[in-house]
Structure 1
């Protein structure tokens, strides 16, 4: 069941990428929100921008929670085994997270263009490597197995989402033939599936998926799999360091993408009011939006104890970019229209199901 489920998910994931590449080619636009606005109309385009910013916001919160978790483990090798260190405010992981945001993330996020990131990402790729963390049942009850499969949908959407950046990637390619884009989409999703399956903790109720996280820790594996390993393990210290650097370096890209969407209406308002947009106004708005974005995401990340709570929300919003927006083009042949209707239904189900689960979990904790 689990293997068939992943195969079906991969079909939708790849088809969404292909549709987005095709839509970019016929519309001539080079960003996700611009393509949606051009192909689907202004109203759906504005909805896309709202979902785009909110989704990136929640991803930023999730990344900071991951960094916070790794900072907690970094302190373990500094103390002798079988001893407890007295609490000090300057050793608290929340204080360390504030320092990381102020000294590293903020300076890298302020510039108008962050071209340095393309060189860093060549070395530290991919930040989504350890985000495919699901919690399946042991297969003792078939109904609970199906419930576990459906509950894993938001995590899969979160782990495999690259659709927001796909149009920008397609537009930057020298060879923009659709067949070339199809090959890239298929290979990238297959590679992600293999890597995620090895590092995650999924388990099919009928066929075991040989996954190191589940085989090592069973049901006791943490939502952040690195937290399951001992803090004194040198190899895991290196892994946490590299993973933390990867998250920190990708965070400015998230800020840049979201800031471009939020800054655009400010520029239009300034242009309409004064007739011109000065460099000083652009710089001031960029600084303000960047500082506000990092501050709010930092505050939320400091008080959210479990990344799974954030992923349950992100997964529902990710359905918009993977299923709903790629299926809403009004000018398509009958076959594509039928497929678009199917993806819309699936996207609506995933959004409703994951959002309901997130609200129910929140009410249960309350």
Structure 2
């Protein structure tokens, strides 16, 4: 028997969940109307986020499914599987673009620290954002994107979580060590409008979105059962909540209303911030590969169904398809990242897809599996009440998922119609005063 332990699996789970959402979280607190509102909404949504994970894992055991879309297939059928695979594909594709954009942002932060005068006025070609994205991707991401199993990234995930921990500690240290006179002039304690409380939902959905890799991680565990995986989920969720909440609360309280969308951008560059920049860049490279793995599996599912390929043919073509899809995926995401200036352009739409993957499809799986059990259980048996409750819970899941998806999508379209402007990070800092 081989595979990852429940403990190492928790770091794979944390590695996917902790990403662009962490550096974006303090700004989300400002949008929502302050710390209390944001934490309250986060706590409510966490109940459903964790429940969705356990639903997916439970359903995966019914027919030993190894991917998210295969879980949906085993419970809800081929049409639902195709829908889930398409949503999962576009989510992973968009998320990979955000990680490459972040890598470009982080290189700008590094060059601004090393030589702001050179970067802002007469920078050489190797300092250009597009150049750094391409070179970093070719050297540090592409060579490790061809793995067949997701647990090959286990050890890298330990390093990535250490990098996230470092960023959280830096935010906390800088908050508690700042001069009282530097406190922000205005920190929200309530939303400007009751509708503002919904503005934090896309960020929370995107931040805690680890559902796309849950089943591949679970299928690679040495001991595959709900009891072992509950340990994985507990450790991963505790770490995620601590990292997100501490960074969000202290980051927002330090800079207050008007905080930049990227918490790293808000700090004056120094050695400690540059170290954080390097660690977040390394983490972005690793998480890109996890998402590519899941997105590639989703594409394979749709492709194989469309062509009607048999399992034998799929196995014969697996290696060739893995290489071809990886190269095409990598090339397109790098090109798009070169021309998209800011993660704010895509994060709203990713939040909408996250709502479907977190709420709608798990709700469908729970509903269908409970209805199947209800048909097999006599009405007056003790299990019948439990099944009725879970059917009701599935209805709540489906309703909440549809509501959040529609809400986030409307928010994203509204922002796009209003022509929201997004600045490239380096351009923003170059316009700042030299001593800012």
Shorter-chain TM-score bucket reads 0.7 to 0.9
Stretch deviating more after TM superposition (49-58 or 87-96): 87-96
> Equivalent residues in 2 for 1:246-325 (5 A)?
246-264=283-301, 266=303, 276=313, 282-325=318-361
Q: Check 1:121–1:71 CA distance in 2 against 1; reply closer, same or farther (3 A cut).
A: same
In the alignment, the residues of structure 1 paired with residue 189 and residue 279 of structure 2 have an alpha-carbon distance, to the nearest angstrom, of: 38
1:212 is aligned to 250
Query: Contact (CA 8 Å) 1:69, 1:227: kept in 2 or not?
Result: no
In the alignment, the residues of structure 1 paired with residue 90 and residue 116 of structure 2 have an alpha-carbon distance, to the nearest angstrom, of: 43
In the alignment, the residues of structure 2 paired with residue 172 and residue 143 of structure 1 have an alpha-carbon distance, to the nearest angstrom, of: 47
Greater length-normalized contact order (CA 8 Å, ≥ 6 residues apart)? 2
- Is 1:227 the counterpart of 2:265 in the alignment? yes
1:30 is aligned to 66
Runs of 4+ in 1 over 6 A off after TM superposition: 80-83, 126-131, 268-271
In the alignment, the residues of structure 1 paired with residue 66 and residue 313 of structure 2 have an alpha-carbon distance, to the nearest angstrom, of: 25
- Is 1:185 the counterpart of 2:233 in the alignment? yes
Query: Contact (CA 8 Å) 2:53, 2:214: kept in 1 or not?
Result: yes
Per-residue CA deviations over 1:259-313 (Å, capped at 9, x if unaligned) read 233235556778859x85696x555433332222122212222222221231111
Match of 1:334 among 388, 402, 406: 388
In the alignment, the residues of structure 2 paired with residue 302 and residue 310 of structure 1 have an alpha-carbon distance, to the nearest angstrom, of: 14
In the alignment, the residues of structure 2 paired with residue 101 and residue 176 of structure 1 have an alpha-carbon distance, to the nearest angstrom, of: 34
Structure 2: where are the runs of 5+ without partners?
1-35, 169-185, 371-386, 421-436
Q: Scaled by the length of structure 2, what TM-score is found?
A: 0.72
Partner SS for 2:268: coil
- Is 1:53 the counterpart of 2:101 in the alignment? no
Deviation at 1:147, TM superposition (A): 2.3
Q: Scaled by the length of structure 1, what TM-score is found?
A: 0.84
Q: Over aligned residues, Cα RMSD in angstroms?
A: 2.9
In the alignment, the residues of structure 2 paired with residue 286 and residue 44 of structure 1 have an alpha-carbon distance, to the nearest angstrom, of: 24
| Paired residues, number | 347
Query: Contact (CA 8 Å) 2:163, 2:279: kept in 1 or not?
Result: no
Stretch deviating more after TM superposition (22-31 or 317-326): 22-31
Q: Check 1:300–1:180 CA distance in 2 against 1; reply closer, same or farther (3 A cut).
A: same
In the alignment, the residues of structure 2 paired with residue 267 and residue 290 of structure 1 have an alpha-carbon distance, to the nearest angstrom, of: 16
Deviation at 1:194, TM superposition (A): 1.7
Per-residue CA deviations over 1:151-181 (Å, capped at 9, x if unaligned) read 1101000101111222233333445453444
Query: Contact (CA 8 Å) 1:24, 1:167: kept in 2 or not?
Result: yes
Deviation at 1:103, TM superposition (A): 2.2
> Equivalent residues in 2 for 1:1-366 (5 A)?
2=37, 3-79=39-115, 84-113=120-149, 116-125=152-161, 138-139=187-188, 142=191, 144=193, 146-200=194-248, 211-231=249-269, 233-264=270-301, 266=303, 276=313, 282-329=318-365, 330-332=368-370, 333-365=387-419
In the alignment, the residues of structure 2 paired with residue 47 and residue 71 of structure 1 have an alpha-carbon distance, to the nearest angstrom, of: 37
In the alignment, the residues of structure 2 paired with residue 269 and residue 310 of structure 1 have an alpha-carbon distance, to the nearest angstrom, of: 28
Per-residue CA deviations over 1:169-215 (Å, capped at 9, x if unaligned) read 33334454534444543443233112101112xxxxxxxxxx22112
Q: Check 1:269–1:82 CA distance in 2 against 1; reply closer, same or farther (3 A cut).
A: closer
Structure 1: where are the runs of 5+ without partners?
132-136, 201-210
Per-residue CA deviations over 1:69-105 (Å, capped at 9, x if unaligned) read 1011110232267995413333211111111122222
2:428 is aligned to none
2:382 is aligned to none
Query: Contact (CA 8 Å) 2:86, 2:302: kept in 1 or not?
Result: no
